[in-house]
Structures are given as C-alpha cells and as structure tokens.
Amino acid sequence: MMKKIPIAIARGDGIGPEIMDAVLAILFASKANIDIHEVEIGEKVYLRGESCGIEPKTWDIIRKTKAFLKAPITTPQGGGFKSLNVTVRTVLGLFANIRPCVAYNPFVKTKHPNMDLVVIRENEEDLYTGIEYRQSQDTVHALKIISRPGSEKIIRYAFEFAKAQNRKKVTCFSKDNILKLTDGLFHKIFDEIAKEYPEIENEHWIVDIGAAKLADTPEVFDVIVMPNLYGDILSDVAAQIAGSVGLAGSANIGPTLAMFEAIHGSAPRRAGQNLANPSGLLLAAVMMLAHIGEPKLAETIHNAWLKTLEDGIHTYDIYKEGISREKVGTKEFAEAVIQRLNQKPKELKPVHYRSMSFDKIVQASKMKRQKKELVGVDVFIDSEHTLDLLKDKLEKDLSPLSLSSISNRGVTAWPNPMPETFFIDNWRARFVNKIKGKPITSQDILDLLKKITDRGLEFVHTESLFNFDGKPGYNLAQNE
C-alpha cells in the first residue's frame, strides 16, 4: 500500500463543519490516499485571545503536511482581530491564489453561459501588507508594496498554469497609467515573462476597463493575473457572475505548502440545518488532489460533481423550478456525488486534470544590480501653517540641499500653486542637491531634519530619493 499523504484540515465555523463532513465523505468514498490531521482555527481561537485566529502550535502541524483544506471561519465582530486568511497566506508564503470561475449553463442560472476563466491573484504584496499609519489630525496612509521577485513569481506561475492546463491566453490587469512605479513594474515584468511563452497569447488591460469587460463579456478571458487588491475584488465579481459564489473553490499555492478553501464565508444563519452547499469546498479539495499528485482522483470527483449538477440535484442556493429536479440538503448532495463517482457529465464538458509541480517555477531570477545613488529626500510635514509660511520656513539656509517643491496629497502646491487646489495638514517637501544632479549623503538628510525641527516644524515621515543607473526611482507630483 502506498504511503498516505498527510493533509491538515480545519472544520471552521458556521456551515464549515457540515460542508467539511460532506467533502470528507466524498474523499473517503473515492478512496483518496490521505491521512487527516485536524487543527482548530477561527472564532473560538480568536475568542481565546489569539489575534489572528490561529494558535502558534498549529503552524507545526500544518507544516508537517502537504496541504491544508480549510473550511470558512467566522471573524468575531469588534476591533483588534486580524484576518486569518491573510495571516496564513503570508506566513506560509502562499504567493498564488487561484480561482477558477466557470458557468454551468443551463443547470445554474447565469448571464454568461460560456464563461470559463481562472483568476490568478498575487497573495503576499500590494496594499495587503497592511502597513498603515496615521500621520496627522486629518491624514492616514497605507503603503502599496510591489516587488520584482513577488511579481515574477506570480506572473511566471500564471503562464506555467496556462501551459499545464492547456489554456490559450494570459491577461494582465494593472493600473499603470496612474501607478507608474508599482503597477508599472508589474506590467513590465508581465511583458518580459510573456516573451518566454510565445505559444501563449498575452494582453494587458488597464484594470478599470478590464473589470468592465470582465463583468460584461467574461468569455473573452482565459487566465487573468493581477496584483493582490484587484485580484481580491475581481475574483469575487468573476465567481458571482459565473452563477454563484457558493460554487467556487480556491487554491493558495506556495513553494512547500498549499491551502485550499471555498471562497464563501461561514454563512452563520444557515449553520447546523443541513442546508449549505458543499460545492465550493469540494472543488477546493479537488484542486488539492491535483496538487498533491492525484489528478485522476481529482478528475473522478469533479466529473461526478458535474453529473450531480446536471442531474438536477441541487441545494437550496442554486435550486430553480423548471431546471432542478430535487432540492437536497448538504448530506444528500454529498451522497448523490458519491453515487456518481466514475460517471461523466453528458451535457457539461467533462474535466481533465493534469498534475502540476510548482517547485521549480517559484524561484525569481537574479537581476543585475543597478547603481543606486541618493539624490534627494521627501519630508512629510504635519502642519496647519499656510503654504506661504511653510515655504518661508523651508526655503532658507539648507545647504547643500535646496527646496525643489512642496506638494499636498500628490498635487504641486509650490511653485505654481493653483487657487482651486484643496490642501490638508500633510505636506510633502522635496529637497535635492543645490548643484543639480550631484548626489547627497545620509548625513545631509539628518542635518536637514534637524534644521526643520529647529524651525518648529514636525516631520512625520521621510522618503529618500534614489536614482538607479541614472533613472529616478520616484515620480513627480501632479502638475510638477
């Protein structure tokens, strides 16, 4: 007998335990070669005082397994609780979030009968690093972090996924017309990596019009790769317009571990009534089987599930008079899938799974190091002074530096202020060397900050300005 593959599972909260039982019943009936290690996460753990909903000892259990199948959890109301999902994804390095969004026309009502796409969302970076600060009475800000290795990993993953799953096109969504450095880097790396896959079509859409196209004509997309925030929002849109968020599963893949879950929440009002649809978690478990090297079993279960849908055996959330044949509960739905193991759907397209090994493709390439020169500093100042007074205080005797501009919320305030521009109490003063183009030192910045403080101003944040191989690593203010 082959050694069993260790899997961690968490039953979660709300409808979690009953949909997990249904999924495990199907996995065992199909003779999945897995060894279950149960862990506790979610509401009870939060309420025991763990701010992320997971106990430190749980990481070790998960780490010893090949994959983690996680039912939805309830995040308790009230402040101070951190997202368990974001914690699991980032702590375990699960950089890729994969969400297939498929229409099951005519068995599940949808406006987009031909939709069959996969959203691949970057999981570790962007605004989800959650680095936020309050800097003044009126201002809070967040850091959007996009890195070259982070973008390379997810974009290469998207192309490898497309190749392995025989998909024809990879589309990138970004907002690089506005976010020239962050989204600009993501787009640039997409263009670089796309060249390595000439057999796969590639295209880029600005995320706003791309999102509109996705909502209107999703059938033109195949694989879409996105930074974290756009991916979070648009993968829900895609799942919903396919028919129901209750039917979608997702995979979170890292170099050594992976986590699989339904995309819906714990639906507390439906809990304990044998009502919930286990399909989202089941399709997550199917992806898990393909990932751990059991593609045949993944295929058998997925096809049995499609046949169950096609036979009109539906839970309440997708039940429709005239389309459905029988309204069933969670357990009965699982039994119907078990009865159909080894059957294939006749009208819906049967699935075919191939195993994927991800270990090789997650290494980011080494880039040639560029010459980095310190050429200035942006100093953010919390001040209710008028612009004129602020300028007077910042302009004089700063040698070797000089004030080159003042901006407010990214709009130039000086020189050339516009009378209509609205200002708040958070100013950005930019200082560069008086001798144009000559680099400065860290000591110059420290001396400058001392002078600013001595003049009664409060700096709340600084950003050093660097050139890389002579090219600015910062952008200009609007209208600068």
Binding residues for ligand NAD, per CB under 6 A? Answer: 15, 72-75, 85, 246, 261, 264-270, 276-277, 280, 317
DSSP state of 350: P
Q: How far is the CB of 251 from ligand NAD (least distance, A)?
A: 13
CB of 264 to ligand NAD, least distance (A): 3
Nearest to 2 by CA among 26, 32, 25: 32
Residue 85 CB, nearest approach to ligand NAD (Å)? 5
Between 71 and 381, CB nearer to ligand NAD: 71
Distance between CA atoms of residues 284 and 353, nearest Å: 14
Return the number of the residue (65 or 85) whose C-beta is nearest ligand NAD.
Answer: 85
Closest CA to 244 of 386, 115, 388: 115
Helices (H), 292-344: 295-310, 330-339
| CB 416, min distance to ligand NAD, A | 48
Q: Which is nearer to ligand NAD, 245 or 292 (CB)?
A: 245
Nearest CA-CA partner of 144 in 175, 120, 173, 98: 175
CA-only gyration radius of the chain, Å: 26
How many CB atoms neighbour CB 299 within 10 A? 19
Distance in Å, CB of 38 to ligand NAD, minimum: 17
Quick one: 71 or 224, whose CB is closer to ligand NAD? 71
Burial of 221 (0-12, 13-18, 19+ CB in 10 A): buried
> What distance in Å separates the CA atoms of residue 127 and residue 138, rounded to the nearest whole number?
20
Q: Omega before 56 cis (within 30°)? A: no
**CB-based contacts of 331: which residues, under 8 Å, 6+ apart?**
18, 21, 22, 25, 274
H or E element, residue 380 = strand 372-382
d(CA 350, CA 264): 24
Distance, CA of 34 to CA of 55 (rounded, Å) = 24
Q: Which is nearer to ligand NAD, 261 or 310 (CB)?
A: 261
Nearest CB to ligand NAD, comparing residues 136 and 266: 266
If the CB atoms of residues 257 and 263 are measured against ligand NAD, the closer one turns out to be: 263
| Spatial separation of the C-alpha atoms in residues 189 and 95, rounded to whole Å | 16
By beta-carbon proximity to ligand NAD, the closer residue of 269 and 471 is 269
Q: Which residue is nearest to ligand NAD (CB)?
A: 265
Please say which residue, 195 or 269, places its beta carbon nearer to ligand NAD.
269
Q: What is the rounded CA–CA span in Å between residue 162 and residue 222? A: 9
